[in-house]
Structure formats: C-alpha cells, structure tokens
Amino acid sequence: MWVWYVLAGLLAGVISGMGIGGGAVLIPALTMLLGMGQREAQNVNLLYFIPTAVIALLAHKEKGNIEKKGIGFLIFFGIIGSVAGSFAATRLDNNWLRKGFGIFLLGMGVFEFFKKGALQQGRKQS
C-alpha cells in the first residue's frame, strides 16, 4: 500500500512544481486508491500544499515566472475565499464535498479542452 502513497506523492509533486496544483491528483488518489474520506483527503492536501508550494514558488521566482501585478488583490480575496470555503467544507457532508470536487475537476477539464482549441484556432488565423 505504501507504493500508492509514493506514486501519488511523486505525481502530485511534479504537477505542483509546474504550478498547476497537486490536489487534482492527490485528492482523487487518496479517496479512490487509498479509501480515505473526502474531508480527510482535502486536509492532507492542505498540509501537503505548504512545502510543495514554497519550493515551486522559489523555483518560479528564480526563473522570473511570477507576475506581480494584482498579487495583493489575489491574496486578499483568496484569504476571504479560503475562510468561506473552509467554513463550508466543515459543514458539508463528505459525499457533497466529493461530488463538488468532481464537478469542479470536470468543469476545469472541459474549460481547458475548449480553451486549447480556441488558442490553436487563433494561431492559425495569425
């Protein structure tokens, strides 16, 4: 079973290093492969996020990949959103959290799928 933890951690770490967010891999791996509850998996993801985000941030800062414009607003409203989200997550049933996370991932996948197509079409017209 420890092999699944290693693989999930490595894959989520690679994705985190890219700046995408390892939770998209880590949470499904913890819930589907390891049988962890949704709330517990999300809590593990929060703890996992801190060191991986710091390392990725330092690497991206060194390469000059960080856009500083508007960062204060993003941080401020991100904190407000995290307070609201954590308030909701502690009160919602695990099944609702799982379904909501699944819908979110599906929506992001569909968005990215169509966004990529629109970007490629824009390049063809140029």
For residues 118, 75, 71, 52, the Cα torsion angle rounded to the nearest 10 degrees is -80
Whole-model pTM over 0.85: no
What is d(CA 30, CA 72) in angstroms, rounded to the nearest whole number?
33
What is d(CA 98, CA 40) in angstroms, rounded to the nearest whole number?
11
SS3 18: coil
Helix (H) or strand (E) holding 14: helix 2-17
Q: What is the pLDDT of residues 45-101, one digit of tens each?
A: 989 888 888 888 898 889 888 888 888 998 999 999 999 988 888 898 888 988 988
Spatial CA neighbour of 105 closest among 48, 49, 28, 19: 28
Task: Decide: 48 and 22 in contact? Cβ < 8 Å.
Answer: yes
pLDDT at 38 over 60: yes
pLDDT at 123 over 60: no
CA distances from 105 to 24, 26, 108 (A): 7, 12, 5
- Across the chain, mean pLDDT equals 85
Which one has a higher pLDDT value, 37 or 19? 37
DSSP state of 20: S
